[in-house]
Amino acid sequence: MLFAKPRSYLVWALMAWAMAASAQPSINGRDFIVAVVDSVPITNHDVRLRAPQLRDQLKQQGRPIPEGEALLKAALERLIVEKSLLQHAKETGVAIDDDAVAQAEQRFAAQSQISVDALHQKVKSEGSSVERLRQNLREQLTLQRLTERNVPGRIKMSDTEVDQAVRDRQNASIDANPDIELGHILVAVPEKATDAEIATLQAKAQTALARLKRGDDLGRVAKELSDGVERDKGGLMGLRAASRYPTLFVDATKNLTVDDVTLVRSGAGFHVLKLVTKRASGVVTITQTHPRHILLRPGGQLSQTTARAQLAEYKRQIEAGKADFAKLAREHSQDASASEGGDLGWISPGMFVPEFEEVMNTLQPGQIADPAISRFGVHLIQVLERREAPISERELREIARNSLREKKFDETYQLWTQEVRGRTYVEYRDAPQ
Protein backbone atom coordinates (compact mmCIF):
# COMPACT_ATOMS: atom_id res chain seq x y z
CA MET A 1 0.00 0.00 0.00
CA LEU A 2 1.24 3.47 -0.87
CA PHE A 3 1.00 4.72 2.70
CA ALA A 4 2.20 1.62 4.59
CA LYS A 5 4.28 2.80 7.55
CA PRO A 6 7.80 1.42 8.13
CA ARG A 7 8.81 0.12 11.54
CA SER A 8 10.41 3.39 12.51
CA TYR A 9 10.21 6.87 11.06
CA LEU A 10 12.12 9.66 12.84
CA VAL A 11 13.11 12.22 10.20
CA TRP A 12 10.18 14.54 10.81
CA ALA A 13 10.96 14.93 14.49
CA LEU A 14 14.56 15.75 13.64
CA MET A 15 13.99 18.46 11.03
CA ALA A 16 13.33 21.21 13.57
CA TRP A 17 16.55 20.37 15.39
CA ALA A 18 18.50 20.56 12.18
CA MET A 19 17.17 24.03 11.42
CA ALA A 20 17.84 25.32 14.92
CA ALA A 21 21.30 23.82 14.87
CA SER A 22 22.07 25.56 11.57
CA ALA A 23 21.84 28.94 13.29
CA GLN A 24 24.95 30.22 15.03
CA PRO A 25 24.13 32.90 17.61
CA SER A 26 27.08 34.91 18.75
CA ILE A 27 28.76 33.79 21.98
CA ASN A 28 30.47 36.36 24.12
CA GLY A 29 34.10 35.60 24.78
CA ARG A 30 36.48 33.31 22.98
CA ASP A 31 35.55 29.70 22.30
CA PHE A 32 37.32 26.69 23.79
CA ILE A 33 37.10 22.88 23.81
CA VAL A 34 35.16 21.37 26.72
CA ALA A 35 35.32 17.68 25.72
CA VAL A 36 36.78 15.35 23.12
CA VAL A 37 34.84 12.28 21.94
CA ASP A 38 37.40 9.95 20.37
CA SER A 39 39.09 12.60 18.21
CA VAL A 40 36.04 14.87 17.75
CA PRO A 41 36.07 18.09 19.83
CA ILE A 42 32.99 19.64 21.49
CA THR A 43 33.31 23.35 22.14
CA ASN A 44 31.77 25.71 24.64
CA HIS A 45 29.99 27.29 21.66
CA ASP A 46 28.44 23.92 20.76
CA VAL A 47 27.16 23.42 24.31
CA ARG A 48 25.65 26.89 24.60
CA LEU A 49 24.02 26.45 21.20
CA ARG A 50 22.48 23.13 22.23
CA ALA A 51 21.26 24.25 25.69
CA PRO A 52 18.21 26.31 24.55
CA GLN A 53 17.25 23.56 22.10
CA LEU A 54 17.35 21.04 24.95
CA ARG A 55 15.27 23.36 27.14
CA ASP A 56 12.60 23.64 24.43
CA GLN A 57 12.59 19.88 23.88
CA LEU A 58 12.15 19.11 27.59
CA LYS A 59 9.39 21.72 27.83
CA GLN A 60 7.48 20.14 24.94
CA GLN A 61 7.82 16.73 26.61
CA GLY A 62 6.59 18.10 29.94
CA ARG A 63 9.80 17.03 31.67
CA PRO A 64 11.75 18.92 34.39
CA ILE A 65 14.05 21.57 32.96
CA PRO A 66 17.44 22.05 34.65
CA GLU A 67 18.72 25.60 34.93
CA GLY A 68 22.10 27.30 34.72
CA GLU A 69 25.11 25.03 34.86
CA ALA A 70 22.89 21.94 35.19
CA LEU A 71 21.33 22.70 31.80
CA LEU A 72 24.77 23.20 30.23
CA LYS A 73 25.96 19.92 31.72
CA ALA A 74 22.90 18.10 30.33
CA ALA A 75 23.45 19.68 26.91
CA LEU A 76 27.09 18.55 26.97
CA GLU A 77 26.05 14.99 27.80
CA ARG A 78 23.58 15.01 24.89
CA LEU A 79 26.34 16.13 22.55
CA ILE A 80 28.71 13.44 23.84
CA VAL A 81 26.11 10.72 23.22
CA GLU A 82 25.40 12.13 19.77
CA LYS A 83 29.08 12.21 18.78
CA SER A 84 29.47 8.66 20.12
CA LEU A 85 26.59 7.46 17.95
CA LEU A 86 27.93 9.26 14.87
CA GLN A 87 31.32 7.61 15.40
CA HIS A 88 29.57 4.24 15.78
CA ALA A 89 27.67 4.88 12.55
CA LYS A 90 30.94 5.57 10.77
CA GLU A 91 32.49 2.39 12.13
CA THR A 92 29.51 0.26 11.10
CA GLY A 93 29.22 1.71 7.59
CA VAL A 94 26.07 3.81 7.98
CA ALA A 95 26.22 6.54 5.34
CA ILE A 96 23.72 9.00 3.88
CA ASP A 97 24.04 9.92 0.21
CA ASP A 98 23.62 13.42 -1.21
CA ASP A 99 20.22 12.62 -2.74
CA ALA A 100 18.77 11.74 0.67
CA VAL A 101 20.08 15.00 2.12
CA ALA A 102 18.61 16.96 -0.79
CA GLN A 103 15.22 15.30 -0.31
CA ALA A 104 15.31 16.06 3.41
CA GLU A 105 16.18 19.68 2.62
CA GLN A 106 13.22 19.91 0.23
CA ARG A 107 10.84 18.41 2.79
CA PHE A 108 12.16 20.78 5.42
CA ALA A 109 11.62 23.81 3.19
CA ALA A 110 8.12 22.61 2.31
CA GLN A 111 7.24 22.18 5.99
CA SER A 112 8.35 25.78 6.53
CA GLN A 113 6.16 26.76 3.55
CA ILE A 114 9.08 28.32 1.70
CA SER A 115 11.17 27.34 -1.29
CA VAL A 116 14.62 25.77 -0.95
CA ASP A 117 16.18 29.02 -2.21
CA ALA A 118 14.28 30.98 0.44
CA LEU A 119 15.45 28.49 3.07
CA HIS A 120 19.04 29.05 2.02
CA GLN A 121 18.60 32.83 2.26
CA LYS A 122 17.07 32.45 5.73
CA VAL A 123 19.98 30.33 6.93
CA LYS A 124 22.52 32.84 5.58
CA SER A 125 20.66 35.78 7.13
CA GLU A 126 20.97 34.07 10.52
CA GLY A 127 24.74 33.94 10.22
CA SER A 128 25.10 30.30 9.21
CA SER A 129 25.65 28.55 5.90
CA VAL A 130 23.94 26.11 3.55
CA GLU A 131 26.81 23.69 4.08
CA ARG A 132 26.21 23.66 7.83
CA LEU A 133 22.47 23.09 7.36
CA ARG A 134 23.12 20.15 5.04
CA GLN A 135 25.71 18.69 7.41
CA ASN A 136 23.23 18.88 10.28
CA LEU A 137 20.59 17.17 8.15
CA ARG A 138 23.09 14.48 7.13
CA GLU A 139 23.99 13.82 10.77
CA GLN A 140 20.37 13.59 11.89
CA LEU A 141 19.52 11.23 9.01
CA THR A 142 22.55 9.16 10.01
CA LEU A 143 21.31 8.95 13.60
CA GLN A 144 17.86 8.00 12.38
CA ARG A 145 19.16 5.19 10.18
CA LEU A 146 21.51 3.95 12.90
CA THR A 147 18.60 3.86 15.37
CA GLU A 148 16.37 1.98 12.94
CA ARG A 149 19.08 -0.63 12.46
CA ASN A 150 19.84 -1.19 16.12
CA VAL A 151 16.88 -0.46 18.39
CA PRO A 152 13.82 -2.38 17.07
CA GLY A 153 15.66 -5.71 17.12
CA ARG A 154 16.66 -5.19 20.75
CA ILE A 155 13.09 -4.75 21.98
CA LYS A 156 12.03 -7.93 23.78
CA MET A 157 8.39 -8.78 24.46
CA SER A 158 7.13 -11.95 26.09
CA ASP A 159 3.78 -13.54 25.33
CA THR A 160 2.81 -12.79 28.93
CA GLU A 161 3.43 -9.06 28.39
CA VAL A 162 1.39 -9.09 25.18
CA ASP A 163 -1.43 -10.97 26.92
CA GLN A 164 -1.49 -8.34 29.66
CA ALA A 165 -1.50 -5.52 27.08
CA VAL A 166 -4.51 -7.16 25.41
CA ARG A 167 -6.31 -7.40 28.76
CA ASP A 168 -5.52 -3.77 29.50
CA ARG A 169 -7.10 -2.69 26.23
CA GLN A 170 -10.13 -4.87 26.85
CA ASN A 171 -10.52 -3.47 30.36
CA ALA A 172 -10.26 0.06 29.02
CA SER A 173 -13.45 -0.58 27.05
CA ILE A 174 -15.39 -0.69 30.31
CA ASP A 175 -14.87 3.06 30.59
CA ALA A 176 -15.37 3.80 26.90
CA ASN A 177 -18.50 1.77 26.06
CA PRO A 178 -19.26 -0.97 28.59
CA ASP A 179 -22.20 -3.32 28.51
CA ILE A 180 -24.62 -2.16 31.19
CA GLU A 181 -28.09 -3.07 32.44
CA LEU A 182 -30.16 -0.48 34.23
CA GLY A 183 -33.17 -0.87 36.43
CA HIS A 184 -35.71 1.86 35.65
CA ILE A 185 -38.68 3.25 37.52
CA LEU A 186 -40.45 6.08 35.72
CA VAL A 187 -42.74 8.46 37.54
CA ALA A 188 -44.34 10.26 34.63
CA VAL A 189 -45.12 13.98 34.82
CA PRO A 190 -47.98 15.22 32.60
CA GLU A 191 -47.08 18.06 30.23
CA LYS A 192 -49.38 20.58 31.95
CA ALA A 193 -48.88 19.42 35.54
CA THR A 194 -49.15 22.06 38.23
CA ASP A 195 -46.37 22.76 40.70
CA ALA A 196 -48.32 20.93 43.39
CA GLU A 197 -48.77 17.88 41.15
CA ILE A 198 -45.06 17.90 40.27
CA ALA A 199 -44.13 18.03 43.95
CA THR A 200 -46.40 15.04 44.67
CA LEU A 201 -44.88 13.04 41.80
CA GLN A 202 -41.36 13.93 42.90
CA ALA A 203 -42.17 12.66 46.39
CA LYS A 204 -43.37 9.39 44.81
CA ALA A 205 -40.04 9.07 42.96
CA GLN A 206 -38.15 9.80 46.17
CA THR A 207 -40.09 7.00 47.86
CA ALA A 208 -39.07 4.57 45.13
CA LEU A 209 -35.45 5.73 45.45
CA ALA A 210 -35.49 5.24 49.24
CA ARG A 211 -36.96 1.74 48.96
CA LEU A 212 -34.30 0.63 46.51
CA LYS A 213 -31.56 2.11 48.67
CA ARG A 214 -32.72 0.04 51.63
CA GLY A 215 -32.65 -3.11 49.51
CA ASP A 216 -36.25 -3.63 48.41
CA ASP A 217 -36.77 -5.82 45.35
CA LEU A 218 -36.54 -3.80 42.12
CA GLY A 219 -39.30 -5.78 40.42
CA ARG A 220 -41.73 -5.25 43.29
CA VAL A 221 -41.03 -1.50 43.51
CA ALA A 222 -41.35 -1.12 39.73
CA LYS A 223 -44.64 -3.04 39.72
CA GLU A 224 -46.06 -0.77 42.41
CA LEU A 225 -44.73 2.65 41.41
CA SER A 226 -43.41 2.75 37.82
CA ASP A 227 -45.24 4.18 34.81
CA GLY A 228 -42.57 2.84 32.44
CA VAL A 229 -42.71 -0.10 30.06
CA GLU A 230 -40.21 -1.95 32.27
CA ARG A 231 -42.72 -2.38 35.14
CA ASP A 232 -43.76 -5.80 33.80
CA LYS A 233 -40.13 -6.82 33.12
CA GLY A 234 -38.94 -6.60 36.71
CA GLY A 235 -37.91 -3.00 36.09
CA LEU A 236 -35.01 -4.13 33.87
CA MET A 237 -34.08 -2.36 30.63
CA GLY A 238 -31.86 -5.16 29.26
CA LEU A 239 -28.12 -5.68 28.97
CA ARG A 240 -26.64 -3.71 26.09
CA ALA A 241 -23.83 -1.34 25.18
CA ALA A 242 -23.93 1.96 27.03
CA SER A 243 -24.03 3.77 23.69
CA ARG A 244 -27.51 2.27 23.12
CA TYR A 245 -28.90 3.83 26.29
CA PRO A 246 -30.16 7.44 26.50
CA THR A 247 -27.28 9.82 27.11
CA LEU A 248 -29.06 11.17 30.21
CA PHE A 249 -29.11 7.69 31.75
CA VAL A 250 -25.47 6.96 30.91
CA ASP A 251 -24.24 10.28 32.31
CA ALA A 252 -26.29 9.79 35.49
CA THR A 253 -24.94 6.29 36.18
CA LYS A 254 -21.37 6.35 34.81
CA ASN A 255 -19.83 6.95 38.25
CA LEU A 256 -22.06 4.46 40.08
CA THR A 257 -20.98 1.03 41.25
CA VAL A 258 -23.21 -2.00 40.75
CA ASP A 259 -26.42 -1.85 42.89
CA ASP A 260 -26.15 1.94 43.39
CA VAL A 261 -29.24 4.03 42.59
CA THR A 262 -29.87 7.62 41.55
CA LEU A 263 -32.71 9.97 40.56
CA VAL A 264 -32.78 12.21 37.48
CA ARG A 265 -35.40 14.41 35.82
CA SER A 266 -36.26 14.59 32.12
CA GLY A 267 -39.12 16.03 30.09
CA ALA A 268 -41.00 12.76 30.60
CA GLY A 269 -40.78 12.83 34.37
CA PHE A 270 -38.64 11.46 37.20
CA HIS A 271 -36.38 8.46 36.57
CA VAL A 272 -35.11 6.23 39.35
CA LEU A 273 -32.13 4.35 37.95
CA LYS A 274 -30.29 1.36 39.41
CA LEU A 275 -27.01 0.07 37.97
CA VAL A 276 -27.68 -3.67 37.83
CA THR A 277 -24.72 -4.82 35.70
CA LYS A 278 -21.59 -3.20 34.29
CA ARG A 279 -18.92 -5.11 32.44
CA ALA A 280 -16.50 -4.84 29.57
CA SER A 281 -18.34 -5.33 26.32
CA GLY A 282 -15.87 -7.92 25.05
CA VAL A 283 -15.83 -5.98 21.80
CA VAL A 284 -12.94 -3.53 21.46
CA THR A 285 -13.39 -0.77 18.92
CA ILE A 286 -11.05 1.60 17.15
CA THR A 287 -11.75 4.90 15.45
CA GLN A 288 -11.63 4.48 11.69
CA THR A 289 -11.47 7.37 9.24
CA HIS A 290 -12.80 7.59 5.69
CA PRO A 291 -10.62 10.11 3.80
CA ARG A 292 -9.95 11.04 0.21
CA HIS A 293 -7.05 12.95 -1.26
CA ILE A 294 -5.43 14.43 -4.31
CA LEU A 295 -1.72 13.64 -4.61
CA LEU A 296 0.78 15.60 -6.70
CA ARG A 297 4.33 14.24 -6.95
CA PRO A 298 6.96 16.98 -7.42
CA GLY A 299 9.52 16.28 -10.10
CA GLY A 300 10.53 17.47 -13.51
CA GLN A 301 8.74 20.77 -14.16
CA LEU A 302 6.60 20.48 -11.01
CA SER A 303 8.26 21.82 -7.84
CA GLN A 304 6.88 21.33 -4.35
CA THR A 305 6.06 25.02 -4.17
CA THR A 306 4.06 24.84 -7.41
CA ALA A 307 2.31 21.65 -6.28
CA ARG A 308 1.28 23.28 -2.99
CA ALA A 309 -0.02 26.37 -4.82
CA GLN A 310 -1.97 24.21 -7.27
CA LEU A 311 -3.62 22.18 -4.50
CA ALA A 312 -4.36 25.35 -2.52
CA GLU A 313 -6.22 26.63 -5.57
CA TYR A 314 -8.15 23.35 -5.84
CA LYS A 315 -9.16 23.75 -2.19
CA ARG A 316 -10.35 27.30 -2.79
CA GLN A 317 -12.44 26.21 -5.77
CA ILE A 318 -13.98 23.25 -3.90
CA GLU A 319 -14.90 25.32 -0.85
CA ALA A 320 -16.39 28.01 -3.10
CA GLY A 321 -18.56 25.39 -4.80
CA LYS A 322 -16.86 25.93 -8.17
CA ALA A 323 -15.23 22.48 -8.38
CA ASP A 324 -15.87 18.91 -7.26
CA PHE A 325 -13.23 17.13 -5.19
CA ALA A 326 -13.77 13.72 -6.79
CA LYS A 327 -13.65 15.15 -10.31
CA LEU A 328 -10.40 17.00 -9.60
CA ALA A 329 -8.92 13.84 -8.09
CA ARG A 330 -9.82 11.76 -11.15
CA GLU A 331 -8.28 14.37 -13.45
CA HIS A 332 -5.15 15.35 -11.54
CA SER A 333 -4.24 12.99 -8.68
CA GLN A 334 -1.06 10.97 -9.23
CA ASP A 335 -2.16 8.07 -7.04
CA ALA A 336 -3.91 4.75 -7.65
CA SER A 337 -6.97 6.14 -5.86
CA ALA A 338 -7.51 8.70 -8.65
CA SER A 339 -9.97 6.44 -10.49
CA GLU A 340 -12.05 6.33 -7.29
CA GLY A 341 -12.13 10.09 -7.00
CA GLY A 342 -9.31 9.99 -4.48
CA ASP A 343 -11.37 7.81 -2.09
CA LEU A 344 -9.11 5.81 0.24
CA GLY A 345 -11.88 3.84 1.96
CA TRP A 346 -12.06 3.12 5.66
CA ILE A 347 -8.63 3.14 7.31
CA SER A 348 -7.46 2.21 10.79
CA PRO A 349 -4.79 4.04 12.81
CA GLY A 350 -1.25 3.28 11.66
CA MET A 351 -2.10 2.34 8.07
CA PHE A 352 -0.72 5.55 6.59
CA VAL A 353 2.57 7.36 7.14
CA PRO A 354 2.63 9.62 10.23
CA GLU A 355 2.84 12.91 8.35
CA PHE A 356 -0.38 12.04 6.47
CA GLU A 357 -2.26 10.76 9.54
CA GLU A 358 -1.27 13.74 11.69
CA VAL A 359 -2.99 16.10 9.26
CA MET A 360 -5.94 13.78 8.69
CA ASN A 361 -6.58 13.37 12.40
CA THR A 362 -6.99 17.13 12.89
CA LEU A 363 -9.91 17.31 10.44
CA GLN A 364 -13.62 17.17 11.20
CA PRO A 365 -15.84 15.25 8.74
CA GLY A 366 -16.29 17.36 5.62
CA GLN A 367 -13.24 19.52 6.33
CA ILE A 368 -10.35 19.93 3.87
CA ALA A 369 -6.80 20.54 5.12
CA ASP A 370 -4.29 22.91 3.62
CA PRO A 371 -1.87 21.11 1.27
CA ALA A 372 0.29 18.72 3.31
CA ILE A 373 3.72 17.27 2.58
CA SER A 374 4.61 13.59 2.94
CA ARG A 375 7.50 11.53 1.64
CA PHE A 376 5.31 10.66 -1.35
CA GLY A 377 4.46 14.18 -2.43
CA VAL A 378 1.91 16.90 -1.69
CA HIS A 379 -1.62 15.97 -0.61
CA LEU A 380 -4.97 17.72 -0.46
CA ILE A 381 -6.80 15.71 2.22
CA GLN A 382 -10.50 15.66 3.09
CA VAL A 383 -12.14 13.54 5.80
CA LEU A 384 -15.55 12.27 4.74
CA GLU A 385 -16.65 10.48 7.94
CA ARG A 386 -15.51 8.60 11.03
CA ARG A 387 -16.81 5.59 12.90
CA GLU A 388 -16.10 3.26 15.79
CA ALA A 389 -15.46 -0.21 14.39
CA PRO A 390 -14.94 -3.52 16.20
CA ILE A 391 -11.63 -5.24 15.68
CA SER A 392 -10.87 -8.93 15.61
CA GLU A 393 -8.90 -10.72 18.31
CA ARG A 394 -5.95 -10.99 15.92
CA GLU A 395 -6.07 -7.24 15.16
CA LEU A 396 -6.41 -6.43 18.87
CA ARG A 397 -3.34 -8.52 19.65
CA GLU A 398 -1.34 -6.80 16.92
CA ILE A 399 -2.39 -3.36 18.17
CA ALA A 400 -1.46 -4.35 21.72
CA ARG A 401 1.91 -5.65 20.50
CA ASN A 402 2.65 -2.42 18.61
CA SER A 403 1.62 -0.30 21.60
CA LEU A 404 3.87 -2.33 23.88
CA ARG A 405 6.74 -2.00 21.40
CA GLU A 406 6.33 1.79 21.38
CA LYS A 407 6.39 1.91 25.18
CA LYS A 408 9.58 -0.14 25.26
CA PHE A 409 11.26 1.82 22.46
CA ASP A 410 12.49 4.77 24.56
CA GLU A 411 13.82 2.54 27.31
CA THR A 412 15.60 0.29 24.80
CA TYR A 413 16.98 3.33 22.97
CA GLN A 414 18.41 4.81 26.17
CA LEU A 415 20.07 1.52 27.15
CA TRP A 416 21.56 1.14 23.68
CA THR A 417 22.90 4.71 23.51
CA GLN A 418 24.50 4.37 26.94
CA GLU A 419 26.11 1.11 25.81
CA VAL A 420 27.59 2.86 22.76
CA ARG A 421 28.70 5.83 24.86
CA GLY A 422 30.34 3.50 27.37
CA ARG A 423 32.59 2.09 24.64
CA THR A 424 33.66 5.55 23.49
CA TYR A 425 36.71 7.43 24.72
CA VAL A 426 35.63 10.75 26.28
CA GLU A 427 38.02 13.36 27.64
CA TYR A 428 36.65 16.35 29.56
CA ARG A 429 38.63 19.59 29.53
CA ASP A 430 38.50 22.54 31.89
CA ALA A 431 37.91 26.09 30.69
CA PRO A 432 41.15 28.01 30.10
CA GLN A 433 42.16 30.35 32.91
Q: What pLDDT sits at residue 344? A: 96
**Of the candidates 70, 158, 166, the residue with the CA atom closest to the CA atom of residue 394:** 166
Is 297 among the domain residues? Answer: yes
Q: What pLDDT sits at residue 174? A: 56
**What is the domain-level CATH number for residue 46?**
1.10.4030.10
Is 69 among the domain residues? Answer: yes
Is 385 among the domain residues? Answer: yes
Q: Are residues 242 and 188 in the same domain?
A: yes
Is 6 among the domain residues? Answer: no
Question: Looking at 228, 261, 279, which one is the last position of a domain?
Answer: 279
With a cut of 50, say whether residue 17 has pLDDT above it: no
Dist CA 320 CA 124 (whole Å): 40
With a cut of 60, say whether residue 407 has pLDDT above it: yes
Instruction: Considering only residues 216 and 23, tell me which one the structure prediction assigns the higher pLDDT.
Output: 216
Q: Are residues 17 and 104 in the same domain?
A: yes
Lowest mean pLDDT among 11-15, 291-295, 371-375: 11-15
With a cut of 60, say whether residue 352 has pLDDT above it: yes
**What is the domain-level CATH number for residue 186?**
3.10.50.40
Task: Place 19 in a pLDDT band, splitting at 50, 70 and 90.
Answer: very low
**Of the candidates 382, 377, 211, 224, the residue with the CA atom closest to the CA atom of residue 310:** 377
Is 166 among the domain residues? Answer: no
Q: Are residues 48 and 62 in the same domain?
A: yes
Domains: count for the chain:
3
Q: What pLDDT sits at residue 282? A: 61
Range of the domain at 79: 11-156+409-428
Q: Are residues 293 and 420 in the same domain?
A: no
Instruction: Considering only residues 313 and 387, tell me which one the structure prediction assigns the higher pLDDT.
Output: 313
Instruction: Considering only residues 29 and 73, tell me which one the structure prediction assigns the higher pLDDT.
Output: 73
Q: Are residues 260 and 306 in the same domain?
A: no
Question: Looking at 225, 250, 279, which one is the last position of a domain?
Answer: 279
Q: What pLDDT sits at residue 432? A: 82
Q: Please report which residue ranges of 151-285 form alpha helices under DSSP H.
A: 159-176, 195-213, 218-225, 247-253
Instruction: Considering only residues 33 and 410, tell me which one the structure prediction assigns the higher pLDDT.
Output: 33
Q: State the average pLDDT over residues 170-188.
A: 80
Q: Are residues 203 and 309 in the same domain?
A: no
* Percentage of the chain exceeding pLDDT 90: 55
Contacts of 253 (CB under 8 A, 6+ apart): 180, 182, 260, 262, 273, 275
Q: Are residues 268 and 333 in the same domain?
A: no
Is 266 among the domain residues? Answer: yes
Task: Place 283 in a pLDDT band, splitting at 50, 70 and 90.
Answer: low
Q: Are residues 292 and 244 in the same domain?
A: no
Which amino acid, residue 209?
A: L
Task: Place 121 in a pLDDT band, splitting at 50, 70 and 90.
Answer: very high
Q: Are residues 184 and 258 in the same domain?
A: yes
The Cα-based distances of 111 to 13, 144, 428 in angstroms read 12, 19, 38
Is 169 among the domain residues? Answer: no
Average pLDDT over the chain, rounded to an integer: 86
Dist CA 119 CA 105 (whole Å): 9
Q: How much of the chain is helix, strand and coil, in % rounded to 5?
A: 55, 20, 30
With a cut of 70, say whether residue 314 has pLDDT above it: yes
CA angle, corner 73, sides to 67 and 74, nearest 5? Answer: 80
Q: State the average pLDDT over residues 294-307.
A: 85
Q: What pLDDT sits at residue 169? A: 74
Is 89 among the domain residues? Answer: yes
Whole-model pTM above 0.85?
no
Dist CA 325 CA 153 (whole Å): 43
Task: Place 412 in a pLDDT band, splitting at 50, 70 and 90.
Answer: very high
Q: Are residues 147 and 215 in the same domain?
A: no
With a cut of 80, say whether residue 236 has pLDDT above it: yes
Q: Are residues 149 and 17 in the same domain?
A: yes
Q: Are residues 29 and 145 in the same domain?
A: yes
Dist CA 166 CA 399 (whole Å): 8
**Of the candidates 248, 256, 290, 300, the residue with the CA atom closest to the CA atom of residue 274:** 256
Question: Looking at 279, 297, 321, which one is the last position of a domain?
Answer: 279
